[in-house]
Chain A
């Protein structure tokens, strides 16, 4: 089987795109928090400045045509109460400078007459200036009394640095949470795919049923294609099994006719050469007939494996029945079959398949063992498994071929002159494995073959 070529990963791509968007959002959050905070800080500073300027404006009194501004102490000290700030002010009546810092820039007055603000540089430092004014009447007519108050930005800068750190923290926290969520999302998105993979790979080799478990919409086409592929595969497999079974069946009947005819002719003939030729012919016909029979068996087994029955099977009885059924054949070859084991073991399975498997094994043993050999079938229970062992005193398996004997149509090198198809052990193995067991093939230390069937007991 060739390994598929991997190109990229959906999970990684999903994770990457989630992380990139989270990072972008984190940066956006950082700047938004900062800009809002900057605005709030600016507004609060403006409010304090405006309050200070208004309190100075309110302190202005006119007496005897002269203006008298009684600068309130708090007007300037309040600007310095939280952080150390340099503070500047200017009081102007019309164009006439009254007091304070003469060169302090003043903002354009607002049309509504409310406080006006300006950011500027004054005496070597950045300042924020608030300006308020009110209409007054003096000796020379109407004029405007204007008060400007300015403050350095060290407190505001501190606040902004603090806010910047906070918003950095918020952005980072946002990103961290997004990473966590993205990982979870990526994993849960991939999960149905993992589940499908697991359910398909968990299947037995013969399981070609369509996938029935619900899948997300996006995976429906994939599963539909998979199901359709499996249906076609199953169909084609069934057709070829049917074909083999049909062919075997059709060949077997004419072979039986030919064999009967050959036996009659053999019996009638007196010519030794003809009799020898006919004997070889009968032998070859037996071989073909047996192969056809086993092909049928195999087709039957394959069919039953697809619809495996589960009923209680008494292994002890099965062993005894099979041994008794083969007794006539073994007696002919003067082979003694001995069934040992008194304790019955019950397993769940298909009785016909199991019996067929055991029959195949015993038949093999009888067939390959020389006359006068001893075959022992023993039923034991060990380590939570039921074990049926068949040992003989025959030739044993060729050691070099132990691994290949269960492949289809494979036969031992020392069995060439004995009728056989090579399908027997294959059938046994498939049956045992379909029941969750396993088959062990080996040789006895004292010579002779040994085959064990192990069924795990629940």
Chain B
């Protein structure tokens, strides 16, 4: 069986290396990685952002400016609007003679803690001279924008894997070769697995290239592999369906772009929406895959967290597969 799966994969690879669209899909992860490197800032260009009321407490503002990027606003409403923007800005607002931290709810815990410490230090009148410096990890070993882009691209690459499968299925249909394959001892399962290999390998090799080129090469690769494999299941299922229902390569490539919608929805929900909206995206496997990848890329994910997110992705993808499996079976007849 392994020999036949390998033969089917080698055939696909041979054909894909002769096809311009497939070649483009095969090498796009590397182009994306280079683009991300070119257009995203480095970690030294990022800092913790605080939003304060203008003229409220000039000494506090001066103090905090030593440790963070401080933005000033005329009203509390303006501070709140700034806090609600997509980055992790913390508001420090006066209340009952003291100060409270205004947060959106989705800021990394380390940044909130950092803001708390700064406020306490100011209240305790601790000066720079009295402090010892210590490097502290704010869950930001990498620039957040870069991490977001790399994470999104990892999910995109898994979709490209599905797209490649769809192209190969369309080729089989166009040449009418499925009937010839069906009359060989390579059963349907062998054929499906053989056709899936190129999609999964694109996902794995493409992602590895991406993370190495963008400087994420030190992440836990096993955790990443786990999330990649479960995410690929969804892309593979959709790849087969689109391949079997499309009459030509352009239609198949166009149809599989339908997956971009839940992908973007998942990313935007996590990055831009507050806690109360998150539950509306729990159905989306890309939402959970993004969360898992986010922990992996920031090197803060425990195995239990990764297993939990992977299980959710696997469960949702499995349900999608069960729904699509009869159509795939029928299409391969």
A and B bound? no
A-side residues, CB < 8 A to B, are: none
